[in-house]
A and B are shown apart, each in its own frame.
Chain A
């Protein structure tokens, strides 16, 4: 603000939560620096102190109204560690089913409801039309597919957990109720339709990519590392495994890392301009230890999916680039392949002969004073780390959320897009939308379950070095 001009985009629309973007211009009117600010504070780690450990899964699920299941899973796994139990095999599989349903509905929200306006109507579309209503008008079948895929995932969560939002079915030691035959059959019955939606949406997405060459080359298209949990055979997983990190060339930087020892290799830095911490890979330091998590990262670190159709798509995805796939625009593509994988994997798990077993919970008292749970949430790797006292009361909590791990990359992506598209002293809707759209690629989840009060305005100001407002745009 002291030198040059500043453009502020506040709040950023069509993401989960509240934030703003500041673009700092130099005296030539060119973008010099960009910052993605997260302007809200939740403080869940402090709120949990003093609560009994067994309350943690249901309490932590309140962090997010979109992906509560991911927090439930990571939290329950941390509590399993406190109990020092091995959960029954059927409980393990049921938790996986729960997680896959969650990823499906969350990815569907991101792609169909938040990003499809950009993909279908174009980045320069009239802002008044660039929303789900514009999609419904131009391609109602696509909008309907999004709704049906969301319903598919939510219905599974409801059938297993009893309710769609904040279900408390996952508990320390397993799950509270077994799966009924009727619910299993109902989910299996819905799978062909969900699979058909995933298949045709993927084909549609691939057919649009040619029209986004410029965005693909400038939307977070730079070298970073990528991190994700993989199975022992380096296959895709969302529930359990080892951490793997690859560099921009696709070479493995670290393998077989124990997720419960995350603090040995993941550092977090606090910036004065945001409540969102920035994670980095400790051996490379800050900021060189920049890495990305989430769909793009998972497909970059995984050698295979382990299901037939998703494996075909993964092979094609890996052909996009001889190195790791670098452009964050391809988060959308990766998200769709993961949806396909989730539906195929759901079918495999539901047909498992053990899946209706009634033995779904191990019961124990706390046997350890410290526990870590890690899992892949829709947006990336999620860590829950708890310490308790002898009475089982929470004394310390640390949560590392996917969006924080992508924070460095999101900031760098905004800068890259702004440098390429923002020029001059007047702002066009297309410029602004691209700056927002690159953030939407990461599908950041910022406010989680907070209920927005009032209208979500988009305010953009162009301010001169002397403080004079040169241009101002407010979109509602």
Chain B
């Protein structure tokens, strides 16, 4: 079984919504490819459940508007573990065209009988309008964000038992 899957998702044509793609680009080549796989996606679709089932750990990296994070300051990072008990298929959104990380994990559990160690890494964005540029506050925070995410993944790689 592989070690770590990093799923960076968002829309790079919607300004800060694409910050996860920048993180993915920056992390490319920083870890041994046999241990860490990185995907950059626009949205989380059901087939990701299959991929997730092949890994010990999955990190979902995404951006969220200020109102949807605990710290509304642009450029803040929030890392949360997603546990089996957090998943309730009856509380899932009526799927339109994108799943949440919990939705992906619920499918992984239901269809592949597997539940990887999972974390959501959410970056508070500022602007989500059309555009390929990140807002200045996110650009300024990006090096530190990348370093912290890299460190967190490095910790998982070094931590042993599950990897």
Point out residues on A near B: beta carbons under 8 Å: 11, 13-17, 62, 65-66, 109, 113-114, 127-134, 136-137, 140, 143-144, 146-147, 150-151, 154, 165, 447, 449-456, 458, 475-476
Q: Given the complex of chains A and B, what is the CA–CA distance between A66 and B97 in angstroms?
A: 9
Q: Is the CB of B10 within 8 A of A451?
A: yes
Closest to A132 in B: B95
Residues of B within 8 A of A66 (CB): 97
Most buried by B among A131, A449, A458: A131
Point out the residues of chain B lying under 8 angstroms from A65, CB to CB: 11, 42-43
| B31 in the interface (beta carbon within 8 A) | no
Residue on A with the closest CB to B106? A133
Give the number of A-B contacts (CB < 8 Å). 100
Assuming the contacts A165-B42, A450-B14, asked whether A476 and B93 have C-beta atoms less than 8 A apart, the reply is: yes
How many B residues face the partner with a CB closer than 8 A?
A: 31
B96: interface (CB < 8 Å): yes
Asked if B96 and A13 sit within 8 Å, CB to CB, the answer is yes
Asked if B26 lies at the interface with its beta carbon under 8 angstroms from chain A, I say: no
A150 and B95: CB pair below 8 A?
no
Question: Could you give, for residues 28-52 of chain B, a 1 whenever the CB lies within 8 Å of some chain A CB and a 0 otherwise?
Answer: 0000000000000111011101100
B50 A458 Cβ-Cβ under 8 A: no
Interface residues of B in 92-114 (CB under 8 A from A): 92-98, 103, 106-107, 110-111
Measured in the bound complex, the distance between the Cα atoms of B13 and A66 in whole Å is 15
Q: What are 17 pairs between A and B in contact, CB < 8 Å?
A: A15-B97, A17-B97, A65-B42, A65-B43, A66-B97, A109-B45, A113-B45, A133-B90, A133-B107, A136-B89, A143-B46, A146-B46, A447-B97, A449-B13, A453-B65, A456-B94, A476-B93
Contact of A154 among B47, B97, B98, B107 (CB under 8 A): B47
Q: Which of B11, B95, B107, B110 has the most CB of A within 10 A?
A: B95
Given known pairs A14-B95, A133-B110, A455-B93, the reply for A113 and B128 (CB within 8 Å) is no
A133 touches B14 (CB 8 A): no
Q: Contacts A165-B42, A456-B93 hold; do A132 and B107 have CB atoms under 8 A apart? A: yes
Whether B17 and A451, one on each chain, are in contact in the complex, defined by CB atoms closer than 8 angstroms, is yes
B68 part of interface (Cβ distance < 8 Å): yes
